[in-house]
Structure 1
Amino acid sequence: MPQLKIGPITIPNNLALAPMAGFTNLPFRLICKESGAGLVFSEMVSAEALVRENRKTSSLLDTDPLEDPLIIQLCGGRKETLRDAVIMLQESGARGVDLNMGCPAPKIVKSGAGAALSRNPPLIREILNEMVKAASIPITVKLRKGWDEKSANYLEICKIAQDAGAALVSLHGRTARQGYSGKADWECIRAAREVLSIPLLGNGDVNSPEDAKRMLEHTGCAGVMIGRGCLGNPWIFREMLHYLETGGFLPGPSDEERSSTMLRHLNMAVEKFGEYAGIRLMRKFWGHYIRDRQGSARLRDKLVRMEKAEEIRLEISGFGKVT
């Protein structure tokens, strides 16, 4: 597999776990890393909250040597705050920092952050200049095609990022207005590849090994970023690696492996966040883990109502016996 270079950092392969709020916390990142992801990104971290030393935000920064190198994704719209957040992260040992310019969530956009930045390229230039100047670690960016189809300014923003000294660009082939609906436009990723000399990760509608190969071949991007396609399916990374290396397909996980991964994920979440918070976090994952399995709707309804880790463990242990 081709390696990926982000500044001085060498990534073992060119498959990346996308930053996803509420999902790419430490337990899930570790599971994806073990399954073959070459690079993992944190959940979106508020630069404002980080600089104010918000305790809840600080917990998003927890990492483990097994997931190295972790890229911390920052969200914000003020250059001074983002600069200060980068300095704090570098001093705490972060290996790299990513600027979120793609989140379409109304709350984030209203604050002037996330995808709202795409409507203000001059501000993006100022922000990235400050972030890069403040750091000796790689600064990366994640963006969308544009705010909407009429203002698809991704090429302009890609050039701004590269000129400012960004080490990598991740491009999602949808506009902010699209959210996660419709189809991702891979042609914009192909066009971005033509104007960039730094590595480009393609993102959007990569849900299978064949998708990963098509993305790489069609766009010429350096690597593939997988988001929703890996939720409940961390094995997709090993399947993609095998397919890209050999052209062959690995069998999907058995019910026993699926069950053991669900159990391990639960145990890690409870250990990390406590039983109450860990159980609630995992409710987001259960439907993804068991979708398309026999009896999945009934099992999911039971799991999301359970309040004790032990009763969830017992239920999951019998997953392969669901009828």
Structure 2
Amino acid sequence: MTGPDIGVLGAGAFGTGLAIALAQTGRRVTLWARDAAQVARMQAERENTARLPGAPFPDSLTVTAELAEAATAPILLLAVPTQQVRRLAEAHAAALAGRWLVACCKGVELDTGLLPTQVLQAVLPGARVAVLTGPSFAIDIARGKPTALTLATAHGGAELQEALATHNLRLYLAEDVIGAQLGGALKNVVAIAAGVVLGAGLGESARAALMTRGFAEIGRLAQARGGQRETLFGLSGFGDLVLTCTSEKSRNFRHGLTLGRGEVPDAAQTIEGVMTAHAIAAQEDADTMPVTCMVSALLKGAVSLDEAKDLLLSRPLRHERG
């Protein structure tokens, strides 16, 4: 039997959405989930009712609880949470070797401050890595809604771009892997803050100001870490920021909205922006990354919402480009 063209590791909403979209073109796609019971349900229902209900599986999509089955594909999309990337790579290093490894998660590793592709390269030196990122919701991708994403890699990538693009999933190739990942990671932090602002009733004008200043600090950090500011004006930066900060489909925005209303967020949800805020705040100062550091402090309970607002508003006046 011919093996899959593409393997998707991780059957959360985004991994499932990508697997469906790619399989709709007739590509042979294998979707891997760690939980055998979840796999059995998906096989029986031909749908991921737990993570992406209302999106049936195409005939060319198979699901498995055996990672080795999915890893026979030449292209592997890693759609597990950022904090699980290292563990996955270490546990399955032999199976992942020699494949294209495309990180489809957005975040920063808490203990090291490394980005997903940096984690992969640390565990698998010499691996061909890329990142797929940008403004997208899983259900839109699965239902064939027009979506544009950034595919960033330092290893050429034209053939990979061709292999992963579909009629409704338009991919723009880039070389700035660092900038693309920082845009995707930090927009989640700003989205939490934007949700807090609206949940607390501070208004749309406050959200617009927060998004703008948050975007400025994302650019500063990207440039300081070897990325390019220009990257942040594209899909992986500005585009993703706008979507995530303005829609309740965003888990990070909803998380902030709940906090701003004084309610308790759903602990079962993976909120990548939480760990990203803590990871960046541990390495950067509040003058360089005021929004990110304040979000981290707020999430830890180190400051109240009123204190966070007053501290941000009382910062010294400065030039807008500063």
TM-score by length of 1: 0.33
TM normalised by structure 2 equals: 0.33
